[in-house]
């Protein structure tokens, strides 16, 4: 956004309320345009108005997918008395955290420094200069839920502003000083050696691992795909099964849980319990892209049909719900389908199941998916989240159904449930196209298309890439944050450059199409030039590229290092550099990644689980890349290619025949390749192995990494 908004209505005007939001590209902002609150979108004008009128600013940050944002909009901000106080005493600004992640990042930190809490909705009270002096998250209209009522809070903040300006200044100063101390402490960290850093992350990860339910930590339980990816690398590097077992348990439990939409596919954001049973129902594009990618890895590493099924149904959900007609992946699907709703679209009562299914289907669904057990909604126990409680074989015990027939009945039941659910009011989709989310999906769809041997999936990734490259890309400025029919909007965000570059590298390797290499190189060059700070790590905003208003702390440098819980932009940039290095045999990119990661290690300290993306990158720096070439054109070559596509290695590239430049091959592989026999040629780094002709040997060969068997 350029910060330009309409001026405030003249005194006596009937244009009262959020009319400025009506034409916003943000679904979250548009949803509030009929409120009786004089909302401004983010920009300089409301802060200038606050200075002229000597009023504090109320900042609301939320998102279209956020359940508690809807609760606050539908309850607190819909209250006539709240609206009256806000119009009389405050300047009000509403921000979509997906549209303005840089604003959200900084004000989350400020409110967190003051109150120790954060999340969405974020409710912050600011000076006209943009400094936080009070804040919190959700507030009800009246006192309740252990929180002060918003009416009372607003009156007290208005009084404080007028009668105790020194208190306001002290609070704002305390926030700034706390953030300065935090930055200084982070900058003071000594760079750990790669092995010490990896050992530290590994220890934290194993300590937080849940051996019963998989995953990490306690309730609420978030998926941490970067943690799983690190465990897979760790198992390879250590040649021990412990980390691999933890990764597999986590993937199985998540796939079986209510976190995973058993009827419609895809994943909800997190669960409120440790067992993955009861989710918060929003489906985030960023989470589904990351989870899809790690399930592709799991399917390759373990050969488990459950993981292949999870990849397939996640792809189908994304194709049906998020993929846009002109190319690209939408941002999210809401949790709710109506005011006051809490997951009714995704949950089932027994009467609803009985109305759709036959008696035998109902019995199977009830047993397999735990109807009436731990999936019951706490506020409405008659409604059930379906999660996989037992196998079909266990569920058919005591019946006359054979295994094949039971599986057919269950598949029929799920088809009926999908059709019945499609008749319900559907939660809205935020159709905004953001570069960082699309980059992650491009990467995941390129990998999923290879695994499933379905070219249409890779074509979907291509269409997303081409839309951004055509309408929102400039080699001098990088990629814009958002694209629509008018072009690109919002420049200079690190996450967009890193994720799109990473996606383009993976798409280039999956397709063997060199057209994606050049923009990936340009984006990574731009990152290295425009985003690297004096301390060696990458800022979230490029100071010469960012074109948004720099209000308050937005102009100050901020360094996105930790996974939350998806891959951090610094780690995404490092991984993109490493993968580009192995794809093009250009070790200059590997050295740039090594330099970046040395700086990152020194600042992450004891981030543990939230440093697993960086740890994965550190581990890959010195892991030899595998390059595979399948020769020949007959059925034997087809079988070898399918086997290689389904096999796992931490850093592998697969080609059908000798690839074109710039996908250069080691000299040994180049001299060995050529038309002729149906065979697979494999090199790990510069060490090439004898040709492979047996598809069954491919998986073990890659998993061993060409190393001698462990003693």
pLDDT tens-digit series, residues 154-188: 999 999 999 999 999 998 888 888 887 776 666 65
* Residues found in the chain: 711
SS3 for 527? Answer: helix
SS3 for 190? Answer: coil
- Give the DSSP letter of residue 189: P
Largest CA distance in the chain: 87
60 CB-near residues (< 8 Å, 6+ apart):
72, 77, 92, 93, 94, 95, 121, 122, 123
Q: What is the Rg, in whole angstroms, of the alpha carbon atoms belonging to the chain? A: 26
Query: Which CATH architecture describes the domain 626-704?
Result: 3-Layer(aba) Sandwich (3.40)
**8 A C-beta contact, residue 123 and residue 139:** yes
**8 A C-beta contact, residue 302 and residue 310:** no
Strand partners for 279: 271
Structure confidence at residue 11 as a pLDDT band (50, 70, 90): very low
Question: pLDDT tens digits for 419-443?
Answer: 999 999 999 999 999 999 999 999 9
Query: CA-to-CA distance for 247 and 225, rounded, in angstroms?
Result: 10
Structure confidence at residue 1 as a pLDDT band (50, 70, 90): very low
258 CB-near residues (< 8 Å, 6+ apart):
268, 271, 276, 277, 278, 279, 375, 385, 386, 387
Q: Give the model's pLDDT for residue 3.
A: 37
**DSSP string over 71-104:** HIIIIITT-HHHHHHHHHH-EEEEEETTT-HHHH
Looking up tokens 């040649």, which residue turns up?
A: 239
Q: Give the model's pLDDT for residue 504.
A: 98
Strand partners for 194: none
* Whether pLDDT at 569 is above 60: yes
Question: pLDDT tens digits for 472-513?
Answer: 999 999 999 999 999 999 999 999 999 999 999 999 999 999
* Whether pLDDT at 343 is above 60: yes
Taking residues 11-33, what's their average pLDDT?
Answer: 82
* Whether pLDDT at 2 is above 50: no
Q: Give the model's pLDDT for residue 145.
A: 73
Looking up tokens 């720099």, which residue turns up?
A: 550
Query: CA-to-CA distance for 625 and 664, rounded, in angstroms?
Result: 13
Question: pLDDT tens digits for 85-142?
Answer: 999 999 999 999 999 999 999 999 999 998 888 999 999 999 999 999 999 999 999 9
**8 A C-beta contact, residue 69 and residue 96:** no
Enter the pTM of the model: 0.95
**DSSP string over 676-707:** SS-EEEEEETTEEPPPB--GGGHHHHHHHTTP
Structure confidence at residue 703 as a pLDDT band (50, 70, 90): very high
Query: Can you list the alpha helix ranges (DSSP code H) found in 587-704?
Result: 587-604, 612-621, 635-645, 667-672, 698-704
* Whether pLDDT at 560 is above 90: yes
Query: CA-to-CA distance for 382 and 474, rounded, in angstroms?
Result: 54
The b-or-e profile of 71-89 (16+ CB within 10 A means b, else e) is: bbbbbbbbbeebbebbeeb
Residue among 386, 377, 372 at smallest CA distance from 421: 386
Question: pLDDT tens digits for 639-679?
Answer: 999 999 999 999 999 999 988 889 877 666 665 655 668 99
Q: Give the model's pLDDT for residue 675.
A: 60
> 19-187 belongs to which homologous superfamily?
Glutaredoxin (3.40.30.10)
Taking residues 183-212, what's their average pLDDT?
Answer: 84
Query: CA-to-CA distance for 217 and 405, rounded, in angstroms?
Result: 39
Taking residues 582-591, what's their average pLDDT?
Answer: 96
Query: CA-to-CA distance for 194 and 550, rounded, in angstroms?
Result: 36
Question: pLDDT tens digits for 375-390?
Answer: 999 999 999 999 999 9
From residue 271, how far is each of 63, 247, 310, 540, 616 by CA, in Å? Answer: 19, 18, 18, 29, 25
User: What's the mean pLDDT when you consider all of the chain?
Assistant: 93
Count of C-beta atoms within a 10 Å radius of residue 11:
5
Q: Give the model's pLDDT for residue 177.
A: 83
Question: pLDDT tens digits for 235-283?
Answer: 999 998 999 999 999 999 999 999 999 999 999 999 999 999 999 999 9
Q: Give the model's pLDDT for residue 187.
A: 61
Query: CA-to-CA distance for 250 and 682, rounded, in angstroms?
Result: 31
Q: pLDDT > 70: what percent of the chain?
A: 95
Helical (H) or strand (E) element with 182: helix 165-187
Taking residues 430-458, what's their average pLDDT?
Answer: 98
From residue 202, how far is each of 209, 291, 354, 558, 649 by CA, in Å? Answer: 11, 20, 48, 26, 20
Helical (H) or strand (E) element with 630: strand 626-631
Numbered ranges of CATH 3.40.30.10 in the chain: 19-187
Q: What's the token pair of residue 612?
A: 């697993």
Query: CA-to-CA distance for 29 and 186, rounded, in angstroms?
Result: 35
* Whether pLDDT at 190 is above 70: no
Dihedrals phi, psi of 123, to nearest 5 degrees? -115, 115
Q: What's the token pair of residue 287?
A: 């989470």
């Amino acid at each position: 956004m350029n910060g330009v908004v309409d001026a405030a209505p003249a005194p006596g005007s009937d244009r009262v309320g959020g009319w400025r939001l009506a034409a916003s590209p943000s679904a979250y902002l548009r949803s509030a345009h009929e409120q009786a609150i004089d909302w401004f979108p983010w920009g300089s004008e409301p802060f200038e108005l606050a200075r002229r009128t000597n009023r504090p600013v109320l900042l609301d940050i939320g998102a279209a997918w956020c359940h508690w944002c809807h609760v606050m909009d539908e309850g607190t901000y819909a209250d006539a008395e709240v609206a009256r106080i806000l119009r009389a005493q405050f300047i009000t600004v509403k921000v979509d955290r997906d549209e303005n992640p840089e604003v959200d990042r900084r004000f989350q930190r400020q409110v967190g420094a003051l109150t120790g809490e954060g999340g969405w909705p974020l409710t912050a009270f600011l000076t006209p200069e943009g400094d936080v002096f009070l804040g919190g998250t959700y507030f009800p209209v009246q006192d309740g839920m252990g929180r002060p009522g918003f009416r009372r809070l607003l009156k007290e903040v208005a009084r404080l502003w007028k009668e105790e300006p020194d208190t306001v200044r002290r609070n704002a100063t305390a926030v700034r000083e706390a953030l300065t101390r935090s930055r200084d402490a982070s900058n003071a960290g000594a760079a750990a050696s790669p092995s010490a850093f990896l050992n530290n992350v590994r220890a934290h990860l194993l300590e937080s691992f849940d051996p019963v339910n998989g995953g990490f930590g306690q309730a609420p339980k978030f998926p941490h795909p970067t943690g799983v990816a690190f465990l897979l690398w760790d198992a390879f590097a250590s040649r021990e099964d412990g980390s691999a077992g933890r990764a597999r348990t986590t993937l199985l439990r998540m796939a079986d849980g209510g976190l995973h939409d058993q009827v419609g596919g895809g994943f909800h954001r997190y669960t409120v319990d440790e067992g993955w049973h009861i989710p918060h129902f929003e489906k985030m594009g960023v989470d589904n892209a990351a989870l899809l990618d790690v399930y592709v890895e799991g399917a390759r590493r373990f050969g488990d049909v459950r993981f292949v099924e999870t990849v397939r149904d996640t792809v189908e959900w994304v194709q049906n719900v998020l993929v846009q007609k002109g190319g690209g992946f939408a941002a999210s699907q809401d949790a709710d389908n109506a005011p006051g709703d809490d997951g009714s679209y995704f949950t089932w009562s027994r009467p609803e199941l009985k109305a759709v299914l036959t008696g035998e289907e109902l019995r199977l669904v009830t047993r397999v998916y735990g109807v009436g057990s731990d999936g019951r909604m706490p506020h409405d126990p008659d409604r059930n989240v379906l999660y996989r409680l037992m196998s079909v074989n266990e569920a058919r015990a005591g019946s006359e159904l054979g295994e094949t027939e039971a599986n057919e009945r269950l598949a029929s039941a799920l088809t009926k449930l999908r059709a019945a659910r499609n008749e319900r009011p559907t939660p809205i989709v935020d159709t905004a196209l953001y570069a960082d989310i699309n980059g992650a999906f491009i990467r995941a769809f390129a990998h999923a298309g290879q695994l499933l041997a379905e070219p249409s999936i890779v074509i979907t990734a291509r269409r997303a890439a081409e839309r951004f490259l055509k309408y929102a890309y400039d080699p001098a400025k990088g990629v814009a944050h958002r694209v629509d029919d008018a072009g690109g909007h919002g420049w200079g965000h690190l996450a967009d450059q890193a994720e799109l570059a990473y996606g383009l590298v993976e798409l280039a390797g999956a397709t063997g199409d060199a057209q994606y290499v050049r923009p990936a190189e340009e984006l990574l060059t731009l990152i290295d030039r425009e985003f690297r700070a004096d301390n060696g790590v990458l800022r979230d905003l490029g100071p010469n590229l960012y074109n948004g208003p720099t209000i308050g702390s937005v102009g100050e440098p901020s360094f996105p290092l930790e996974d939350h819980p998806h891959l951090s932009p610094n780690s995404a940039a490092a991984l993109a550099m490493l993968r580009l290095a192995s794809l093009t045999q250009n070790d200059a990119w590997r050295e740039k990644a090594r330099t970046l990661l040395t700086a990152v290690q020194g600042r992450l300290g004891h981030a543990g689980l939230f440093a697993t993306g960086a740890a994965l990158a550190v581990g890959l720096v010195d892991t030899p890349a595998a390059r595979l070439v399948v020769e020949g054109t007959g059925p034997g070559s087809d079988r070898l290619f399918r086997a290689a596509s389904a096999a796992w290695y931490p850093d592998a590239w697969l080609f059908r025949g000798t690839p074109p430049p710039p996908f250069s091959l080691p000299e040994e592989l180049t001299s060995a390749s050529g038309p002729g026999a149906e065979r697979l040629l494999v090199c790990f780094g510069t060490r090439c192995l004898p040709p492979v002709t047996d598809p069954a040997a491919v998986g073990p060969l890659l998993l061993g990494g060409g190393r001698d068997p462990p003693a």
